Structure 1
């Protein structure tokens, strides 16, 4: 997967939506200590920098050197390129010792991981009993009924070109294994019960198509001689959109899981939004 994201690093950085600052305030409210956070699959660092507003140090790792080269610099964020799976020794050297990490985050990436290895390492690193793992992903960008119908047909054309693990994301993380105890009100955000939210981004048609062009499935198909965003498809999007220069609201569905390896009573978290 690293090679795919290397090839589309600039498009990915330009097109992907930013997360609301309030999300990171809420996550920070779950951990009484704010010394160290590990952002895994950091990509262009959009989550890493936001987390650094609440934690003294953030280790942001990714398998893509090209992605991290485009990441925003921050005095409390250390970026590091890693192999897909870190050895325990490398993990301790890079991130920290057992029980040293307050928060681990994964934005739009956990479905690609070796979950057995990753979860074992997270449980080793997280502070006991207050450490939290939070993972989230988004899907189904919605603009208007006309644009959404073209998107639906386009989405169908991509299905043979995704990494099979992306199915977890398509299912809204409802089937994603997540062996952690809920830290959210009412037991939400645990395995099988993701918190569902919405995230808005204001985009032109060019920005909207930029998101689609950044998809790994589009890159994979092109390498196999198939152009999913053909002139006909682009024309259909333009016709559905109307004024291609108009700025429209694009609403994404976001799915969040958050938990801890140990049973504890979390601070109150307002589930606004």
Structure 2
């Protein structure tokens, strides 16, 4: 992987604390596809062995462990894995997505990649997937969340301005792949004859503070910190948060009072993601 992100201990701690999880519908769709059914209620089995690539601190890995007998979480960052949640049926391994040689051929039932494919050398990764997936039914599952949306018109415009103007120059070309839901590289996916896509709408109620904390985990914020320093990033996020508060409270006043600030920053808002889930099966 040529993009060593999420490796510093301070950033991986933030990632662990604030990175949101994924809706259960993703895992239900994976199970239906793996077990060749259209009804999750008919599935009373677990997938034997799954590997979650670029698992970070285990957001998807832990969810998968409820549906699999055994899960291996793989990430290239040792600091990410130090933050990972432990469970009896999960093990973690530090390795890049393009180097899965520690796994024997034809040994894995399910390979998952949660909002991370854009950081890989895709051709090398798919070669590894084809080597480790079991034939006649091994499943590759790839999904991405894209950018969030807000149910407040002014706040949504504020978010777009923040992304396009304030973080200008901090976005890797690779991030555009996931923002566009990998549409430009779908022809590179393996097992095209079996590939299907589910579009999943996912809403969460977060406080304004929680939402800004999520944004801080983004790779362009990490890049902004590298370019301008931690204090400048905190200042940028603070200004963005205050502007969001004004959108949701329709206030034009500065937010100066400590008590009022605590209240307004904890105002709950609805955040929405559109997730494209791609499923394909090795024949």
Mark yes or no: TM-score above 0.5.
Answer: yes
**Match for residue 36 of structure 1?**
49
Give ranges in structure 2 of 5+ residues lacking alignment: 36-45, 250-263
Equivalent positions of 1:193-208 (< 5 A) are: 195-208=198-211
Q: Please, which moves more after superposition, 166-175 or 31-40?
A: 31-40
Q: Please say which structure displays the higher CA radius of gyration.
A: 2
Q: How does 1:71-150 map to 2 (within 5 A)?
A: 71-83=84-96, 85-86=98-99, 91-93=100-102, 95=103, 97-143=104-150, 144-150=152-158
Matched, 1:23 2:26: yes
Q: How many Å separate the matches in 1 of 2:137 and 2:72?
A: 18
Contact 1:5 1:216 (8 Å CA) reproduced: no
Write the mapping of 1:1-273 to structure 2, written as runs, cut at 5 A.
1-6=3-8, 7-32=10-35, 34-83=47-96, 85-86=98-99, 91-93=100-102, 95=103, 97-143=104-150, 144-157=152-165, 158-176=167-185, 177-181=188-192, 183=194, 188-189=196-197, 195-225=198-228, 227=232, 229=236, 231-242=238-249, 243-262=264-283
Question: Which structure's residues are more often helix, by fraction?
Answer: 2
The 8 Å contact of residues 60 and 114 in structure 2, kept in 1 or not, is answered as yes
For the structure 1 residues 121 and 100, does the alpha-carbon distance in structure 2 shift closer, same or farther, using more than 3 Å as the test? same
Shift of 1:92: 4.1
Give the match's secondary structure for 1:249: strand
Paired positions, count:
248
- Give the Å deviation of 1:14: 2.1
1:157-193 deviation per Cα after TM superposition (whole angstroms, max 9, x unaligned): 224212221111121211123132354xxx632xxxx
- Rounded Cα–Cα distance in structure 1 between residues aligned with 2:88 and 2:96: 24
The answer (yes or no) to whether the contact 2:52–2:73 under 8 Å persists in 1 is yes
CA 178–159 in structure 1, closer or farther in 2 if over 3 Å, else same: farther
**Structure 2 SS opposite 1:17:** coil
Q: Is the 8 A contact 1:181 1:261 kept in 2?
A: no
Q: CA deviation at 1:113?
A: 0.3
Q: Distance in 2 between matches of 1:92 and 1:219?
A: 30
Stretch deviating more after TM superposition (18-27 or 58-67): 18-27
- For the aligned residues, what is the CA RMSD? 2.0
TM-score (norm 2): 0.80
Unmatched 5+ residue regions in structure 1? 190-194, 263-273
- Segments of 4+ in structure 1 off by > 6 A? none
Gap change, CA 1:198 and 1:159, over 3 Å in 2:
farther
TM-score by length of 1: 0.83
Distance 1:67 1:128 in 2: 31
Report the CA distance between 1:149 and its aligned residue. 0.9
Please say which of residues 100-109 and 47-56 is displaced more in the overlay: 47-56
CA distance in 2, matches of 1:231, 1:46: 26
Q: Using the TM superposition, give the Cα deviation of residue 63 of structure 1 relative to its aligned residue in structure 2, in angstroms.
A: 1.0
C-alpha contact 1:162 1:216 (8 A) present in aligned 2: yes
